[in-house]
Amino acid sequence: FSGRVANLGWIETVIRGSDEIMVTIPNSDLLSERVSNLSRLHQCQVKQVLKFSKTDTEKLPKLLQDIKTEIRRRCPTVITDGSRPFRASWTSFVGGGNAEVTVDAHFRISPAGDMFWDNQQRCLQAIDEAIRLNDLVQIYNGIVVRLLMAQLSSLLYCSWHGGGKDACMRVRRRWIEQIEDDRRVMERKKNRWAKRQMSKNDR
């Protein structure tokens, strides 16, 4: 649970959550739990793990430089003096030989409140802009998730509406069509990038 202390008493403490709901917690519980006071911290971290196709690994060195450049441009409180990590690194291979990239940045901002969330959004926008500049597409597990959801949706549809096999198959086909649409979109993006590369080589 997280929130701001609204009242500190001898027996209990009242905390106001982000949803404005007041929660009363016995002080004995606070003594037995690990509690962090974020208001006393003056630095925060944004860490993201990205995944890219193994066919795009040659573009990663420039991407990593662009990510750091964009974060510096959009987030003036980023710490770059070496006292805290500021990294954009190709960290490992994942399933099928695809590349995993880790972005780790620290900022001179308290890890709570509107300033924290605004800064995190600017950092994510910087990462997204660098990905777009390099004409890359992240790999998600969305296709696997969609397939599982297709199976689950079929079961739920049948159980809620008393549908038979035909109803289940209709729902499943609808999800499979969405999966194919996702694949086609990714393929079109890769083809556009390949054409641009060929035109550059011709020059």
- Whole-number pLDDT of residue 122: 94
- Whole-number pLDDT of residue 127: 94
Q: For the chain, what is the mean pLDDT?
A: 78
- Whole-number pLDDT of residue 197: 64
The Cα 42–Cα 77 span in angstroms is 11
Whether pLDDT at 157 is above 50? no
- pLDDT tens string 18-59: 667 788 888 888 777 777 666 677 889 999 999 888 888 899
- pLDDT tens string 58-110: 999 999 999 999 999 999 999 999 999 999 999 998 877 889 999 999 999 98
- Whole-number pLDDT of residue 18: 64
SS3 state at 87:
strand
- Whole-number pLDDT of residue 37: 67
Cα–Cα nearest to 54, from 90, 89, 93, 102: 93
The Cα 193–Cα 140 span in angstroms is 19
Q: Which residue has the higher pLDDT, 168 or 8?
A: 8
- pLDDT tens string 160-198: 445 455 655 665 566 566 666 766 776 776 677 667 667
Torsion angle, CA of 58/62/63/67, rounded to 10 degrees?
Answer: 160
Whether pLDDT at 147 is above 50? no
Q: Which residue has the higher pLDDT, 199 or 175?
A: 199
- Whole-number pLDDT of residue 12: 86
